[in-house]
Chains A and B, each alone.
Chain A
């Protein structure tokens, strides 16, 4: 019986039509998927001119029978599914019959196959007795040739010549050989990581690009592709159906290209997963840097739908948040349980200039945890002593151990340089000139280069920091209002009022109910003096009720379970909800991009910038400061 069936039309309609073949790499993808489906353990891909001229894939899979061959190139033919029920249980890769048909339509394709000698076929009727023969079939621009006997080893070989030869418009669309080859290599890499037990070989213009022997441990494959430096920094985590190699936070990458997610050995892109990873590393690595993560998920096919996009790169999980939460907690737990000893910066990781710290000290992604610990261990002195000793001078500021005044290392240096307004001249970064450009950035000269500051981001961070300090000291100033501000709430918001109220009060927003679904603000935190209050209130409620928020509060719960040790150190519960609200408040209170600043305002901002480091306390901010060193300038102008 023929293994291939023509899909019923109903099913065809269910499969979204698509752009299956758009470049050589996608040809390679379809062919490798087919090869893996046929049970191959060795796959060899040979290409010429980046695959534009020639692609050949040879596998040692089960092969196709003579009867199957003509069907191969027919649209919507596949051996893999035939009814709708099958669609929801897709375990194989290339369930779309279109692939080979499309290929046959846009190239000169040739397929040679020899059926594997299977025990079940030993007793075939006469005429087919003896060793099964190989057959070859060709298709040129959609014209199917006859199926003829040929000589070949067991398995299937597909050759694609002159891709898009009959569609010049699309041929033009292809990029240079090198670019297309890059895509092909990337594609083979993905499969090779997902299938460490399969031998892969990639040959381009007769040169061996990849030659990968089967291995039992995927780490060996990773080592091959990414080198010892990276692989030695990987931590392994496993729980249930998820396995992952994740990078030590010390090692970060400038983009997410070092993140590979596989679902049932299929390479996928998924925002939820990416987000879970990002959140797991939040606060542990600097903004704008990304961890390396290789994530392998196994889950029954019923749990997701790959039929979202023809390229099958995206999937839709039935329980997306659950997947997100599992991955987040898995990685987060591991990261927080590990003790990272600061190590020398790796390679040429670019330095991140921040907050007046001397170069080199700021850029290290160390001590994020330490900073959190510091943060909660410190109690700043009370803003005002409860009473002043009459007549005597002001009491000295208590520099008791554990206050921020005795923070070790570079912080102290900066601190002393800016101890008081009379010493401003001594704070070097202030002495130099500064100006604003595009009403959004401040350019400031510093001894060893130039700082480019995002005025909003910097101000936001400073405010966040100061506001938190005030909160810890229970010292939040509330500006009493002459006339209360009334805010009308949505019914949904009104329902949340009792829940959110404690938070509002902690933030310094004095709220009273005022008739139907309206609240009146009696006092506001001083930093909000010029903010749009009703808008802010709506946003606070909005944040509070958002999924992300609920999620965070859920993660807070799981955190308190897995991080008891951590909490014991800090002695105070870190409340991500409150943290989020503070960030929102600071964001609203800060100067915006587009606000013209007076010279005094610029100076004030810079002065505060030079004060103690806030680098690690604002976990969700974008980078605020970009530093161009004199060395870099010299290099650029070739003076060095």
Chain B
């Protein structure tokens, strides 16, 4: 392999790939970056087996080839250099890197040991708007569980059905559901559970300039391509492993029989619940919401801390009603709601609180109950 490329571009690629590469692993070769030189392009590949990323940059390729190099070391050389261009030549598993003033010889690893990297098949892909996908991730991922024993809940459910992409996040006590239409039809329905790591990375990669994102859902992987376009010169390809397991049937848990409804102004409501939560403490978070005629009251009291009561005006004329819940669950969702208004729905003290935000976003919270 013999290439010359722009240092700044190479470094940018490094900055994106670097966070994926594990600093410690039972499989040491993963601590390396794989570089493939083809025609006028070089591909940089990094993976921790859970997620992987392939980044393309243009280069002057005099000789094609593949090399596996220690990420940290190569990254440091790029950082320290001030050159515009950088030369990399390989000789077996050894790389020779030339800058204006420096010459480095770095020992690489045998490419045979590096795990296979999947390919992206554009033909099978489902197309979705970049900003929409970003929003969907943001609005579901916070509701996932950190508790690995119900491992399906640590991930986000992705489902493609009827020209729609749906995503669901839940930790077993609350659930966030969002859907987006796509113009493109997809022949088969498929459901997978993706770990949050890949989605978070994707959310970071997608920029305002991106228009469309291509997704394929497979049995064992989720593959995403951020295509070139606009100022993005080369596509990025990202894959994520999938979580095995059964995700709760979201359609069944979203109630349809809530008989009490109230329209809520987002900002005012968010301020009120945050104030009411001030007196709650770690692990003992409980706030009571009381709905009376045209008034909504939050009330919290914690032993050794104190109590809080916050009121706001709403238009409500149904039966008075009260319910206790963990205020954090509400505060979390209010951070991602962009709409100025939404609807709250209830049935009884032991049924979920339902937030309907716009037509495509539903969030529900299981209440806390106390035996008296």
Using a CB–CB cutoff of 8 Å, the interface residues on chain A facing chain B are 380, 383-384, 386, 388, 390, 393-394, 397, 404, 415, 418-421, 463, 466, 469-470, 474-483, 485, 523, 526-527, 529-535, 589, 601, 604-605, 607-608, 611-612
Contacts and interface: CB of A to CB of B under 8 A. Distances in A.
A482 B371 contact: no
Query: SS class of chain B's interface: helix, strand, loop or mixed?
Result: loop
B303 A526 contact: no
Given A529-B173, A530-B146, A419 B283 contact: no
A474 B372 contact: yes
B103 interface: no
A529 B305 contact: no
A482 B175 contact: yes
A383 B307 CA distance: 10
Interface in B119-152: 146-150
In order of increasing CB-CB distance, the 6 nearest A-B pairs are: A420-B306, A480-B366, A483-B248, A611-B304, A532-B149, A527-B283
B366 A476 contact: no
Contact of B299 (A394, A469, A470): A394
Contacts of B304: 415, 418, 608, 611-612
Interface stretch (B22-30, B191-199, B220-228, B274-282): B274-282
A480 B278 CA distance: 23
A474 B370 CA distance: 8
B297 interface: yes
Given A418-B304, A474-B370, A477-B370, 16 more contacts: A383-B301, A384-B370, A393-B309, A420-B305, A421-B279, A466-B283, A478-B370, A480-B368, A482-B174, A485-B150, A526-B285, A526-B368, A530-B146, A530-B147, A532-B148, A611-B304
Contacts of A386: 372
Interface stretch (B4-12, B106-114, B286-294): B286-294
Interface in B324-372: 324, 326, 350, 352, 364, 366-372
Contacts of B278: 421
A483 B299 contact: no
B147 A532 contact: yes
A480 B370 contact: no
B172 interface: yes
B309 A394 contact: yes
Nearest to A612: B304
A419 B306 contact: yes
B170 interface: yes
A605 B281 CA distance: 10
B284 A535 contact: no
B101 interface: no
A474 B309 CA distance: 22
B282 A523 contact: no
Contacts of B299: 384, 388, 394
Contacts of A418: 304-305
Of A469, A479, A534, the most chain B CB neighbours within 10 A belong to A479
B155 to A, nearest CB: 15
A388 B290 contact: yes
Nearest to A382: B372
Contacts of B174: 482
B253 interface: yes
15 contacts: A383-B303, A394-B299, A394-B309, A397-B306, A419-B306, A466-B283, A476-B370, A477-B368, A477-B370, A478-B368, A479-B173, A480-B367, A481-B366, A482-B253, A483-B253
Nearest to B368: A477
Most buried by B among A415, A419, A530: A530
Contacts of A530: 146-147
Contacts of A481: 172-173, 366
Given A384-B288, A589-B283, A604-B281, A479 B149 contact: no
A384 B297 CA distance: 13
B326 A523 contact: no
Q: Chain A CB within 10 Å — which of B173, B297, B303 has the most?
A: B303
B366 A479 contact: yes
B172 A485 contact: yes
Contacts of B279: 420-421
Contacts of A475: 370
B168 to A, nearest CB: 11
Given A480-B350, A480-B366, A421 B290 contact: no
Nearest to A383: B301
A424 B87 CA distance: 60
B263 to A, nearest CB: 22
Given A418-B304, A482-B248, A482-B366, A476 B371 contact: yes
Interface string B240-253: 00000000100001
Contacts of A384: 288, 299, 301, 324, 370
Contacts of A526: 283-286, 326, 368
A117 B292 CA distance: 106
Given A394-B307, A421-B306, A608 B281 contact: yes
A415 B303 CA distance: 11
Interface in B158-174: 170, 172-174
Nearest to A424: B305
A199 to B, nearest CB: 62
Interface in B186-235: none
